[in-house]
Amino acid sequence: IESIDFHGLAALRLRVPSGASAVVSAFGAQVLSWTTADGRERLFLSERAVFDGSAPIRGGVPVCFPQFAGLGPLPKHGFARTRTWSESGRSTGKDYAMVSFALEDDAATRRLWPHAFRAEITVNLENNRLDVELGVDNTGDAPLAFTAALHSYLRVTEVEDSYLEGLYGHEYRDAARGDRIVKDTGTRLGFEGETDRVYHGVRRPLLVNAGNLSLGLDQEGFPDVVVWNPWVERCAALADMAPSGWRHLLCVEAAAVRVPVTLAAGEGWSGRQSLVPV
């Protein structure tokens, strides 16, 4: 584990013996790169991403907390992705490298969200997998509720040639089509236009079929899966995306969206997303 400067941001680079590596910035506690042992970058990071702290970083694994999207009064996707977190632990072993970053409430977070909390992101890199875990503790004396997501931007060669498998039979809320509730009846989900869905109650592992960038995904604690691609027009409207950026990303997010997580005073919760090359 070494400290590096990543586009002007303080970050840590994790390496393991297989040659796999990952970069995590303190800003947002965000994984910004994950290269597998075969030398392939597996995460999408926009070539126009902003790294000066004035905006969330477009790509990698942004942490959405304590609010997913615009589902409440907070800034979109909450404040965790635009705050600088503090390193709270690191360890390495024969075949893993792990770092944690923590964020606690302060005057600025309490102005937006009147709760005492401690959130922690733990990134564990192994020879052939990456695990990202979000832990949240209610450190106050009243209950709190939040929604959250690990908004992973997976790199794909061509999204139009990619498929997502494992969502058959699940219900989803289709945010790209008026928030309709739909039941998925296809064995694999292909991409032919703007896609913005929240799948509920997903307990099976998923497979992103993307040629030599294919990945298995698994999650624990997070009940929902969000699938997002902005496609041509929405991508063009995003200042921090190149016009063709949409082609090379597929967001598959481990999320707690439909039912907010409620924590009594002193209670904790955690959710994890695991990415495994196949």
Which residues does the annotation mark as catalytic?
151, 253
224 binds ligand TA6 (CB under 6 A): no
**Which runs of consecutive H residues, i.e. helices, occur in the chain?**
107-112, 231-236
DSSP assignment of 148-202 equals: EEE--EEE-S-GGG-EEES-TT-EEEEGGGTTEEEE---SEEE-SS-EEEEE-S-
48 binds ligand TA6 (CB under 6 A): no
Question: Binding residue for ligand TA6 (CB under 6 A) from 132, 196, 210, 274?
Answer: 196
Report the SS3 class of residue 110: helix
Report the SS3 class of residue 109: helix
- 98 to 137: interface string for ligand TA6, x by CB under 6 A: ----------------------------------------
Q: Residue 213: CB partners within 8 Å, gap ≥ 6?
A: 40, 42, 154, 155, 156, 157
153 binds ligand TA6 (CB under 6 A): no
**How far apart (Å, rounded) are the C-alpha atoms in residues 36 and 19?**
7
Question: Binding residue for ligand TA6 (CB under 6 A) from 121, 225, 226, 252?
Answer: 226
Q: State the minimum distance, in angstroms, from the CB of residue 22 to ligand TA6.
A: 21
If the CB atoms of residues 14 and 27 are measured against ligand TA6, the closer one turns out to be 27
Selected range binding ligand TA6 among 5-13, 69-77, 156-164, 258-266, rule: CB under 6 A: 69-77
Question: How far, in Å, are 16, 65, 125, 164, 224 from residue 1 at the CA level?
Answer: 9, 26, 11, 33, 32
Question: Binding residue for ligand TA6 (CB under 6 A) from 40, 48, 76, 188?
Answer: 76
Question: Binding residue for ligand TA6 (CB under 6 A) from 26, 43, 44, 77?
Answer: 77
**How far apart (Å, rounded) are the C-alpha atoms in residues 246 and 160?**
10
**How far apart (Å, rounded) are the C-alpha atoms in residues 228 and 254?**
12
**How far apart (Å, rounded) are the C-alpha atoms in residues 151 and 226?**
8
Question: Binding residue for ligand TA6 (CB under 6 A) from 20, 27, 56, 147?
Answer: 56
Q: State the minimum distance, in angstroms, from the CB of residue 275 to ligand TA6.
A: 17
- 4 to 33: interface string for ligand TA6, x by CB under 6 A: ------------------------------
If the CB atoms of residues 31 and 226 are measured against ligand TA6, the closer one turns out to be 226
Residues in the site for ligand TA6, rule: CB under 6 A? 56, 69, 76-77, 151, 175, 196, 226, 228, 251, 253
